[in-house]
Structure 1
Amino acid sequence: MAGDGSTGSDRPWTQVPRELADRMRPHLDAVADDMIAEIQARVREYDRPPDAPYSSALRTAVERVLHYFVERVADPDGEPESVTAFFHAIGRGEAGEGRSLDAMQAALRVGGMVAWRRIAADAVRLNVPPAALGAIGAALLAYQDELAAAAAAGHAQARAAVAGEMQRRRRRLLDMLLAEPPASPESIADQAAAAHWPVPRTVAAVALGRHHADARQPAFPPDVLADLNRPAPSLIIPDPDGPGRAKLIDRALAGCIAVVGPTVPVAEAGRSMEWARRTLALAERGVIDEPDGVIRSVEHMSTLILFQDEELLAALSRLRLAPLSHLRSSQQDRLAETLLAWLQSGRNANEVAMRLHVHPQTVRYRLRQLEDLFGDQLLDPDLRFDLEIVLRARHMTDRERIMPPARRTASGEVVTLRR
């Protein structure tokens, strides 16, 4: 932080006559008094009673600044005691108290003005040549910049440390909210207070998938708990159903595959995350259509129920679609598509034709085939319900089957309902 005489910023010091240091030393106490009085008059934050700790700290700082300045005039190439570390500590302290550096920087400017005024007034008496006077002015400005930079560095360092600690507390809070079993309300309240996170009435968990290569890094509102570095990147959104929150969430998550779990009480954040992750897994497989915006689990509850137990679903599919099993795959696809459309359209052949964009006569031909294959099963409401379940699932996994390999996840074997 302090110069060592080897940089360009030290040139003004080398041009100041060294003998001026001895002429300045007897006047340092008077200059310090003038500086303190002027600073307290011009900078409101320093206007304290003489016996206040803040006033004592101000005097200590002013005296050290003046002492170092004179010592540097006396020996610009030496290594006198540096006050840059002192000002670095001041910057850290101001940040720790939650204050900006505005008052300190104003005090530095006022102090420099007083010092220059005294030097200019005494220049004739001290027999200071004009060239040396100019060098002193340049040295004062460089010195002021040096101290301000040291304070700013300390302030930034402290703020970064505070921010890092706060981020660690918020990540710990996120872990507690998503823990299974959930942490106690008392533990959550204590950690939330430490993380400066007001506990909301409701939350929604967000599961994040891949991030588009050309998209910006997500930026979240300060009340959102986020950890993008965990194996399963996660968010907790407070009061997700509040005014304007949905649009805010959509903007923040643009460019990501993101699933918002259902809105739940704070203690059930883990359940919201479980649903969000299940929805995300189905979206990445292609079972759930991936829209341009954010996916919301509550809009896909029936699909989540349908794929809750895929082995059981596959067994039901084999049982109910057994009449199709001896046909070629292309025949199975056509008849399964027709049967699903028929069940979804209230068993209206003309509507089926419009849905499938085929001639009504073609639909009637296929329906006769289905009647021959399934017989009285098509008359039983319970069996029709089972058929619609397995045919819907079959249709969804058809999307998964044709998904490009790069779109698949690495979460394990995909269960399809082809037979």
Structure 2
Amino acid sequence: MADDGSTAAHGRPWADLPRELAEHMRPHLDEVADDMIEEIRTRVREYDRPGDGAYSGTLRLAVERVLHYFVDRVADPGHESGQVTDFFRAIGRGEAGEGRSLDAMQTAMRVGAMVAWRRLSAAAVRLGVSSRTLGAVGEAMMLFQDELAAAAAEGYAQARAAVAGEMQRRRKRLVDLLFADPPATLEAIADLAAAAHWPVPRTVAAVALGGRGADARQPAFPPDILVDLERRTPSLIIPDPDGPGRAKLIDRALSGCLAVVGPTVPVTEAARSFHWARKTLGLVERGVIEADGVVRSVDHMSTLILFQDEELITSLARMRLAPLAHLRASQQDRLAETLLAWLQSGRNANEVAMRLHVHPQTVRYRLRQLEELFGDQLLDPDLRFDLEIVLRARALLSEGSRGPVIPAAKEAVGDAAEVVTFRR
């Protein structure tokens, strides 16, 4: 046969069936239905519910509708299939609503078709139906079965999509509730969590995702992780983040994303974890904190404290680094680097030389310059502490910035506020 389109498109195989065959079938439909139901119950465990009258009634209704439609189609190839396919779409939606798969229903359809074919074959022999006609009947049955299976699958997919969409909406509302300010009560969280099918954990950690995490393909997160990628800062909530194996699971789930995991907190304090995750993410995006895989806020607490109030640290820098204000930018950089190394190494010139990979004599020359610039300030422990704070912040910003952190120095010391500002 030439490949000129599907048989269904040309009315085949239904058009090849003798119309009178339908009249021979009609008187036996009740018997065929009984045989089909018995065989389905015997071979498909899910359909063996003798005490469930409603379910038995639905099964019989489905079988009878299928048989009557098939015979009507034999009698009239143009007979509309809308009602029976709508019925099977509804069955598919019902199976999804009950949380079952379509496996049992599809098995039942195959068993029913086998019984019907067995009865039709026997009747065809008695009626002297030709082998060509019998083949057309078999083909029509297979096409019909495929049509009903497709309708059921469509209804099933629609219902699953609707359920998934509603569940996702509930989970997003739960994320909003967990990040609320002031924090929600544990009772309110538990109520919404139950509706979202999310077991309430004792502890959580929030995750803030950067631009790369939001723009890249959506990772496949485990079902117990709450996800909202539509927030201004795409975010996750991870239950029991410190449990056995959870750290590795988190790293795998966030592989390829720019992701910051906030500190572990009680579930009612998820907003606090998210606050610190976002703060850390901001420093990562500025280059202050290096992103090497998944970043965890708890590994950078001192940096977070240092940058908690940048205006305050800038004001402190204006005061403590004022002696450097009249120097050229390159001189500022060398002396600031030397002073920080000196403070960090217990004021040991030889160790400073090793840290900076310069000759000890060079270090001693720079230290004499610093003594001249800062004078007795370097003898005061509190001032040395202030200097180390601002110099650490300066070093972090120097590593993260694309250009000079401190602009070229002005001649007047009074312009130090402009010279030593840390903000880019």
Structure 1-normalised TM-score? 0.93
CA shift at 1:400, angstroms? Answer: 2.9
- Picking from 406, 416, 422, the partner of 1:417 is 422
Partner of 1:223: 224
Partner of 1:298: 298
Distance 1:212 1:44 in 2: 46
CA shift at 1:418, angstroms? Answer: 7.9
Partner of 1:408: none
- Which ranges of structure 2 fall in alignment gaps of 5 or more residues? 1-5, 405-419
Distance 2:119 2:393 in 1: 88
Partner of 1:366: 366
Greater CA drift, 216-225 or 293-302 = 216-225
Give the conservation status (yes or no) of the 8 Å contact 2:214–2:234.
no
Partner of 2:286: 285
Structure 2 counterpart of 1:262, which letter?
A: P
The alignment partner of 1:207 has SS state of: strand
Give the conservation status (yes or no) of the 8 Å contact 1:25–1:70.
yes
Give the conservation status (yes or no) of the 8 Å contact 2:72–2:79.
no
Partner of 1:37: 38
Distance 2:195 2:401 in 1: 48
The 1:134–1:358 alpha-carbon spacing in structure 2 relative to 1, beyond 3 Å, is: same
Q: Deviations over 1:364-391 (max 9, x none)?
A: 0000000011111101100000000000
Structure 2-normalised TM-score? 0.91
Distance 1:126 1:103 in 2: 34
The 1:324–1:138 alpha-carbon spacing in structure 2 relative to 1, beyond 3 Å, is: same
Give the conservation status (yes or no) of the 8 Å contact 1:394–1:418.
no
CA shift at 1:333, angstroms? Answer: 0.5
Give the conservation status (yes or no) of the 8 Å contact 1:208–1:259.
yes
Partner of 1:249: 250
Partner of 1:337: 337
Partner of 1:138: 139
Partner of 1:74: 75
Distance 1:399 1:360 in 2: 25
The alignment partner of 1:83 has SS state of: helix
Instruction: Count the aligned residue pairs.
Output: 404
Structure 1 counterpart of 2:338, which letter?
A: T
* Alignment map for 1:167-316 (pairs within 5 Å): 167-211=168-212, 216-291=217-292, 293-316=293-316
Q: Deviations over 1:90-119 (max 9, x none)?
A: 010011001111221111111111111111
The alignment partner of 2:83 has SS state of: coil
Distance 1:335 1:93 in 2: 76
Q: Deviations over 1:66-93 (max 9, x none)?
A: 0000011111123266311101100100
The 1:221–1:403 alpha-carbon spacing in structure 2 relative to 1, beyond 3 Å, is: farther
- Which ranges of structure 1 fall in alignment gaps of 5 or more residues? 405-414
The 1:53–1:330 alpha-carbon spacing in structure 2 relative to 1, beyond 3 Å, is: same
Alpha carbon RMSD of aligned pairs, Å?
2.0
Distance 1:63 1:81 in 2: 16
Distance 2:112 2:32 in 1: 9
Structure 2 counterpart of 1:84, which letter?
A: T
Partner of 2:3: none
Partner of 1:400: 400
Distance 1:121 1:9 in 2: 28
The alignment partner of 1:86 has SS state of: helix
CA shift at 1:124, angstroms? Answer: 2.7
CA shift at 1:261, angstroms? Answer: 0.5
CA shift at 1:16, angstroms? Answer: 1.1
Structure 1 counterpart of 2:242, which letter?
A: D
Give the conservation status (yes or no) of the 8 Å contact 1:394–1:416.
no
Aligned-pair identity in percent equals: 76
CA shift at 1:51, angstroms? Answer: 6.6
Distance 1:78 1:418 in 2: 77
Partner of 1:412: none
Distance 1:353 1:62 in 2: 90
Distance 1:313 1:294 in 2: 28
Distance 1:32 1:256 in 2: 57
Partner of 1:409: none
Structure 2 counterpart of 1:390, which letter?
A: V
CA shift at 1:290, angstroms? Answer: 2.1
